[in-house]
Homo-oligomer: A and B are copies of this chain.
Amino acid sequence: MNLPPLIQTFVLHFGEMGSRWGINRTVGQIYALLFLSGEPLNAEDIVERLGVSRSNVSMGLKELQSWNLVRLQHKPGDRRDYFSTPDDIWQIVRTLVEERKKREIDPTLTLLREVLMQEPASAEERHAQARMREMHDLFELLTDWYADMQRLETERLVQLLKLGTKIQKILDVKDRLFPASGAKNRRSSDKDK
């Protein structure tokens, strides 16, 4: 590995982190390298910097492309492929969340819906279905919310995030102004501390 120390630290860290998510070390390192790089890199650049085989880089880049996490570019008079990450880090977050949703949440929701259609054959299955219903409703709530957030402009999204707990006060005001609108989400207050 042939990198300035500061960059190497980050690249190694992301290699390890990659393992915690579904991606392997090399893919994590390639992405980290591209993220930090000021200019697009070609496969040979990456080979030299990370010290892995050309074929490994090829497969890693293919995987990153399948995640829509890297952009393929070309330089005039150079027919090698150059890769880069979006300049806008929020765009990266959006893509990441979108892809993970596509691969993890959506298939799970599909499966839950299928299983919830079936007739339970015992008390055990009936309870299991009730549990799956809870999970289904939770996932649906979260994905609906996510769809809304994804639709917001980044500026608005950031504003919202920065609001943090203050949002609670705004909700209090809203409740006082329109007491009916949120009431259906309220159960008996026995759980309130």
Contact = CB atoms under 8 A, between A and B. Distances in A.
A6 B80 CA distance: 51
B111 A13 contact: yes
A185 B158 contact: yes
A59 interface: no
State how many copies of this chain the complex holds.
2
A180 interface: no
A55 interface: no
A43 interface: no
Given A125-B7, A128-B36, A135-B89, A142 B160 contact: no
Given A128-B7, A148-B164, A104 B20 contact: yes
A144 interface: yes
Contacts of A174: 170
A13 to B, nearest CB: 5
B164 A127 contact: no
Interface residues of A, number: 72
Contacts of A53: none
A89 B138 contact: yes
Given A22-B21, A103-B20, A155-B187, A161 B135 contact: no
B4 A124 contact: yes
A77 interface: no
Contacts of A144: 161, 164
B151 A38 contact: no
A36 to B, nearest CB: 4
A129 interface: yes
Interface string A126-157: 01110110110010011011001001111110
